[in-house]
Each structure stands twice: as C-alpha cells, then as structure tokens.
Chain A
Amino acid sequence: MIEFDRVSKRYDGGYTALKGVSFAMDRGEMAFLTGHSGAGKSTLLKLMTVMERPSAGNVLVGGQALNRLRPRQVPFLRRHIGVVFQNHQLLFDRTVFDNVAMPLEVIGAPPGEIGRRVRAALDKVGLLNKERMNPIALSGGEQQRVGIARAVVNKPPLLLADEPTGNLDPELSADIMQLFEQFSQVGVTVLVASHDAELVRAMGNRVLTLREGELVSGGASPREQLHGH
C-alpha cells in the first residue's frame, strides 16, 4: 500500500527533515510513527498526500509513483487517503453533518448517498445524534471523532493521522486508537504519527521510529523481508 524508497526531504532553508527513509506497509496493516517533535513525522505524512514533494527518492501509494503525479492528478489521489489532524481542521461555519460530507461533495456524490454515508460514518464514531450541531459546541474528543468520520466517510484504503490524540486525555486517546484499530481490521491501511510512547506500546502494533529525519527502527516490512529471502 505504501512504499518509501530512500526518501529525503530538504526544505528551501537548508533544513533536512528526512534522510534516506525506506519502509513499506501492506494493505490492512496498522503502524505507528513515533519520534520527537521535529523528527520528521509530519513531513513523512505530507509526502504521502503530496502536500510536499520529496527532494530525493520515491514514494509509492497504492502502486502509484507520486513523483510522476501531475498537479492536476493530485486531488484524485487525495480522495483515496483519509487524513486526521491533531487540531482536526473542522470548519465552524457549518454543521457536523456538512463537515463530514465534504469529501463526498468533492466527488459529486448524489445527495441521498451523501446522507446515507455521512450517517454511517457518524454512527461509526458514535456521534449520530450530533449531526445538526456546530462542531464548536462539541468537546475536544468529539471534535476529533468528527475529524475521523470525515477522514473515513469516503471509505479510503489509506488512513493517515498526525498526532490525533495530542490534545486528549489518556482515556479518550485509547478510544480513538481503538477506532483506528477497527478500521485496519476491515482492510484499511492505517499510519498514526504519535509521540505518546506509552499509548503506542500499549497498542502493540508495528512502530516506525524517526530520529532527526532518519528511520531508526521498524523500517523492515513483511514484503521486503519476503523479497530478501
């Protein structure tokens, strides 16, 4: 599902965020991405949604080489990737329902189908009764779950989360992680960036660790091991 091949990212100012990062993830696999802030976690996630382009190396998502993706093709890639942010990026000028409906509006889904799928996604995160509310009236944990509903409403094969529990207390964080686990069980590839070492350990998934832009552990993938032997 994801393949990074000696990927480096150097910003214009000369700052190097990633150095020769290689790893692969299979369909339905769930993994954590850890490291101190500034270790390159966000940059790595941004490369997968083509918010950033690598300075060197290749990134493949769903078999698609992102280097060769033209700007006008980028939106169509993003429709297959759900993204969850720490600050959830919800819009406070519309209801919970309309926030979650955005990825469906973008692909021009018929209104009836939008209603059905938005309610299914809200049901999944346990917020079906709050669809008419403005997200500003919700608690932090609920807002984050609206963000997750928006990320999965389109049933993307890949789900990326950047510090999704950064602002939440441990109990709520565990709930959110359980939710991600459930998505991976139905075949969604899930990559969660988090610096919450304790929570990551408790989940028991594969862990990719970045240190100053280098992948220091978890780089091997099942597929690569297979190729090696």
Chain B
Amino acid sequence: MATESQRDAGPRRGAARQKTAWRVLLDSYVAHHRKTARQSFQRLIAQPLTSGMTWLVMGIALALPMGLLLLLSSLQGVSAGWESTARVTLYLEQSADQAQLQALAAKVGSRPDVSDVAVIPRDEALAEFRASSGLSDALDYLESNPLPHTVMATPAEPVRTPEGVEALVGELRQLEAVAQVQVDLGWLQRLSTMTELLGRVVWTLALLLAVALVLVIGNTIRLAIESRRDEILVSKLVGGTNAFVRRPFLYTGVWYGLGGGLCAWILLVVSFWWLSGPVGRLASLYRSDFVLAGLSFADGLLMLVFSALLGWLGAWVAVKRHLDAIEPSQIDSA
C-alpha cells in the first residue's frame, strides 16, 4: 500500500511541477506588464505639467464632438417624440358655441383614424395665453375673446405617415363649423433635416479631431522615444524583442488616452451642468419637454475605452516609425 501510494505521488508531483513552471512564466509575463504599466504611469506623473497639458488637449478634442453628439441625440429625441404624436389642430369658427364644440369633439373622437381627442374651450385658451404671454394688460382692452374653440386630434397609429395625416386633414376640413385645420409637420421636417445635417458636421468634426489626437499622441510619444534612446539601445542589445521595447511606449499612449478621456468626461459633466439651467428655461418657453441628456455612465466608459484606443494607436504609429529605426549598431563604441 505504502509503495503504491508513493508510486502514485511521483507523476502527480511531476505534473504539478510542470503546471507551476507554466504558471511562473505566465505570472512573470503578467507581472512585467503590470510593472511596465505602472512605470509608464509614474513617468507621466513625474512631469505633471507636460502630461496635464496633453491630457487637457485630448480632453477638449474629445469633449467637443462628444458634447455635440449628445446635443444631437437630444434633438433627435425631440423630433422623434413629436413625429409620433403629431397632432392635428382644428380651429372652430368664431360663431361656434360650446355645444357645437362638444359635438365636433365627439364626432372626431369616434373616427377610427383618430386615437385621441382633446378640447380647449376659447375661455381656457385665453386664460392660458394671458398667463404665459405677459400681455394681460393689452388683453384687457379687447372687447371679446379673439381666440376660437380648438379641438386637437391625435392620428391613430396606422395613419401616422405624411400621406395618412394629409388625408385625415382633408376630411376634417369638410366638417361643419371647422374654420381651419392645421398640422405642424413643416417645421418638424425642417428640424429633422437640420439635425441630419448637424449630425454629418459632428461626425466629420469627430473624425478630424480623432486623427488630430492620434497625431498629438504620436508626436508626444516620439519625444519620449528620443529621450529614452539609450535605454532602447541597451534593451535591444541584451536581446529585448521589438514587442518588449515597444511595450512601455504603448502603455504611455494608453495612459495619455485614458487621462484625456477622463478630462473629457469632467469637461462634459461640468459644461452640461452649466448649460442645463438655461436649456431647461428655454425648453419650457417653447413648451417642450426637451431635456439636455448628459453623458450616461455607460457612454462615459465607452468614451474612455475609445480614447485609450486612440492613445494606443497614436503610440503605435510613433513606435512603428521611430523605434524600429533605433538599432544597437548606432552604439558608439569609442
């Protein structure tokens, strides 16, 4: 029994040793990556002014297109929200009375192509206008209420297309006591065209700034390579692979990217907080539920990943162009 268990232990110990050797290799590889990352970061911290400026430049260049994109998506939210609830407004003749208003509302409301109906009696409309326009003094001089009764109809889902709404408007216009039918699609179409145009402008800007960022990082890394020329020579001399020599610079690029992304995040949060008050007031003046949507946490993280990637890419470009050119044959042996 004893010999058997001993014989068993032999190969198991061997396998364990093999696994340990493999683990040791992996651990030291990971440890080296961690060390390189830490040292690259410490180098940046050791030059706070230079690094801070680079981070800020990156932050601004990222925050600008990102802020515009957020604004754009807020605007698209507005037009999407209004397109789905594009309401048809029926203004009644001045002579129409309350009974006619209710009858019309009931008639319109019973139509299959109308999902919802709201009524604004002329007195209510005047009170509201008085409250919101600031013209109450002027209104006092009027002998009678100039505003008509209004019925607002929301088209049912199947007819919420430009053609469907147009047909509905045509039929509603034929109804008795209706003076005017209005549907406000024109400005929505203009808004959506404008947001589309703005979208292209923003994406072009984002693309150009991304290229600029890669170049900025590339140039910064080029300077870092120049200042660490001796170290690169010695690394290559003692058998450092290109990957080994590149690694600290690629990490430096990633740190620049991450720092820039963080700067951009802070800039966005601060500027959106600063803008949210006035935007809210403006929106309420337009009776819009428009909300300036800030950077969500997930989008922020995505931006960080993206900026880290840009930093890495910039470093890669610089490293490819400048690092491979440094060869130990340039060591001056004299």
A interface residues (Cβ-Cβ under 8 A, vs B): 37, 42, 46, 49, 51-52, 72, 75-80, 83, 85-87, 89, 91, 93, 102-103, 105-111, 150, 154, 162-163
Contacts and interface: CB of A to CB of B under 8 A. Distances in A.
B236 A75 contact: yes
B32 interface: yes
24 contacts: A37-B334, A42-B333, A51-B327, A75-B241, A76-B239, A76-B241, A77-B239, A78-B236, A78-B238, A79-B238, A85-B333, A87-B332, A89-B233, A89-B237, A91-B234, A93-B231, A102-B234, A102-B238, A106-B238, A106-B241, A107-B239, A110-B27, A110-B31, A154-B238
A62 to B, nearest CB: 14
B242 A72 contact: yes
A52 B330 CA distance: 10
Contacts of A49: 237, 328
B31 A79 contact: no
A86 B333 CA distance: 6
A93 B235 CA distance: 14
Interface in B198-240: 230-231, 233-240
A133 B273 CA distance: 52
Contacts of B41: none
B244 interface: yes
Contacts of B332: 87
B106 interface: no
Interface residues of B, number: 27
Contacts of B29: 108
Given A86-B334, A89-B234, A110-B28, A103 B239 contact: yes
Given A46-B329, A91-B231, A108-B25, 9 more contacts: A78-B239, A89-B230, A89-B331, A93-B231, A102-B234, A106-B235, A106-B238, A110-B24, A111-B31
B322 to A, nearest CB: 17
A72 B331 contact: no
A76 B240 CA distance: 8
A111 B242 CA distance: 22
Contacts of A37: 334
A173 B241 CA distance: 33
Nearest to B332: A87
Contacts of A76: 239, 241
B329 A163 contact: no
B44 to A, nearest CB: 15
A136 B230 CA distance: 15
Nearest to B26: A108
Contacts of A105: 32
Contacts of A46: 329
Nearest to B324: A71
| Nearest 8 interchain pairs by C-beta | A79-B239, A78-B239, A51-B329, A103-B238, A110-B28, A106-B240, A75-B241, A75-B239
Contacts of B242: 72, 75
Nearest to A162: B333
Interface string B24-53: 110111011000000000000000000000
Nearest to B32: A108
A46 to B, nearest CB: 6
B331 A85 contact: yes
